[in-house]
Structures are given as C-alpha cells and as structure tokens.
Amino acid sequence: MTWDQGLHKGVTTLAAEDGTQTVRELTYLEAIRDGLRFALQHDPSVVLLGEDIGAYGGAFKVTQGLLDEFGADRVIDTPMAELAMIYAAVGMSFQGFHPVVEMQFADFISTGFDAIVQFAATNHYRWGQSVPITIRAPGAGGLRAGPFHSQSNEAWFVHTPGLKVVAPATPADARGLLLSAIRDPNPVIYYETKYLYRSLKGAVPEGEVTIPLGEAALRHPGEELSIITYGAMVHEAIAAATHLEREGHSIEVLDLRTLKPLDEAAILATARRTGKVLIVHEANRTCGVGAEVAALIANEAFAYLDGPISRLAGPDTPVPYSPPLEDAHRPGASAIITAARELLAY
C-alpha cells in the first residue's frame, strides 16, 4: 500500500502482516521530525521551506538532520520573509509540489497573512485550484518568551474560509495529523505547541499511520462534566480531571485535535452525555475557538444542559514575559479545577 492509497482510503492504522504495529517512544518534537522525514522519503513532491531550517536545523531543531538526508533542493533555507516564502509555497503547489513552510514562531505568521487569507485560502473557490500547502506554526506560551513569541492566534485562521486548522496534543497525533495535513488538497495551518516539544513523550506508531482531519479524540471518559479543549491544555485538563476524580467526580475530556473543521458530532455527543460543559483554551477568550464551540452546543444541545456553558481562556492581554504573570495568564490544572468545581456545584 502506498502512502497516497492509505490516505485516500482514510486509513488510520496500518498493521503488519502478522498483526503487529511497530511503536516507538518519541518526544512531541521528535514525532514532528519523524513525520516530516516520512513524508520526504515517500513523496518526492514534498519540500520544506523556512528560516534556518537547513544547516541550523530550525530554531527549535525540529528539522535537524533533514538537510543532510534530503539535500538543499528539498530542505530549503529562506530569507526572513514570511510573506515571500508562503507565496512561493503557493506557487510551488500549483506545479504539483506539497510544500511545508515553517514559521519560526506562530507570532510571525502575521507577516504572511495576505498570502494565506487572500490568496491560498481563496484559490479553490475562485478557479478550482487546490493549494496543498502546510504551514507549521509553533505557538502558545509557557516558555517565558513574552508577547511576541507566545501567541495563540489560531482563531484568525479558523475564521477564514478555505483553510483547515489542526492542533495536536500528543506525539502520535503530531505525526499523524502532520501526514494528513501534507496530503490534504487544502491549505492547512498546523499549530504545534512549543511547550510540549521536549516535555512530552508518547508512543508513536511507524509507517503510514495518519489521523483524519476533523476527528476529535475522547481522552478521558466521564459522566458529570465535559472539558473540551486542545493543544497543551489537554494535559492540564486530564490532570484536573484526575484530581477531581479523587474528590468523587467523573469528568470527561474531549481533545478537538482539528479546529477547522470541528468534529461537531463529538462535541455534541459529550455535551449531551454529561449535561455540563467547560471549554478551555490558551488563546485569549474573546472570539476564540471556544466561542464557536459554545455556540454550537447552545444551538444543538441546549435541552440536554444542566448548567451554563463555561469558558476558561487566556485574558485579553498580550502574553506577559514575567513568569508569575504568565502563569496567571495561562490556564492550568488548578484554574481548570476551580472552574469545574463551580460548574459542578451549579
């Protein structure tokens, strides 16, 4: 089975002939690198573009070693010009390539905004042209990097017709969603969480194992309250759910994984199952992804609710550089526990 065939059939697991699946323990960062390597190995149309991704190996060393393995024609160092590299990637996609563009930080994606929202996102509507580009955006906070290197700006692109947006929370999903993003005919913004790069390890299957875009994952089953989240907040939510279990509560955690298109069926199912919903994300609250999730639940599952739809998110301020201020700005397990207790008591 070729990689293209596997994706065409929606394959999410690929077992060997004896029924076994090779699984390795990788960090979140290593899983992304492994996904890039697999794509480069199995599809000659895949090319990487970005600032310092070649000899330097990328700002976070995600692409380290790929230049030596695949050469400068496929691992392409670019100038510090996000707009130019994204426009170049779009043009390459018209010629049959599948470019993967790295933003050093998700914050810098704003300088390429025109190429993404005005051009890449509109081509299929305008003249039926697919734009199979993937833009890797290392985002979110927790690393004391201040307001220009810690943003969670995914809502900009969730709001834009013609784009898909993913936000993996585990090493296995980081690899699987990346492979699906690269082969998707649409432009995909791939939000990877810097905080998880080296702090999180997990089992990652080898081979053509992909995660379909648009499918959420139930990370922790429960009956009393649902926490709906994505990215690094999935792990904070699971920690909160585990703590609340010791107090006798049953908390469900749903990982969205794909922010556009949302898995509406999974969102509505968990809301109807528990009757109480807490939506958590690191991005600032106003017009965040959580607002769309809340609106969906209010429209389609209102009769099942036993309490108000609650949201916990970053405040509407730039991300602080000061460690204690950033900790207060960024939702964590303790804040989730407090918000969940309030909703449980309603």
Burial class (CB in 10 A: 0-12, 13-18, 19+), 11: middle
Does 149 qualify as catalytic in the annotation?
yes
320 Cβ partners below 8 Å, 6+ apart? Answer: 146, 147, 326, 328, 329
Cα torsion 327, 333, 336, 342 to 10°: value is -110
Polymer length of the chain: 346
Half-sphere exposure of 236 (CA within 13 A, CB side): 28
8 Cβ partners below 8 Å, 6+ apart? Answer: none
CA gap 93, 337 in Å, rounded: 46
CA gap 41, 329 in Å, rounded: 41
307 Cβ partners below 8 Å, 6+ apart? Answer: 275, 276, 343, 346
CA gap 293, 127 in Å, rounded: 31
| Residue 125 Cα distances to 21, 113, 131, 207, angstroms | 40, 18, 11, 34
The single residue of 8, 42, 124, 149 carrying the catalytic annotation is 149
CA gap 312, 279 in Å, rounded: 6
Task: Give catalytic residue positions.
Answer: 149
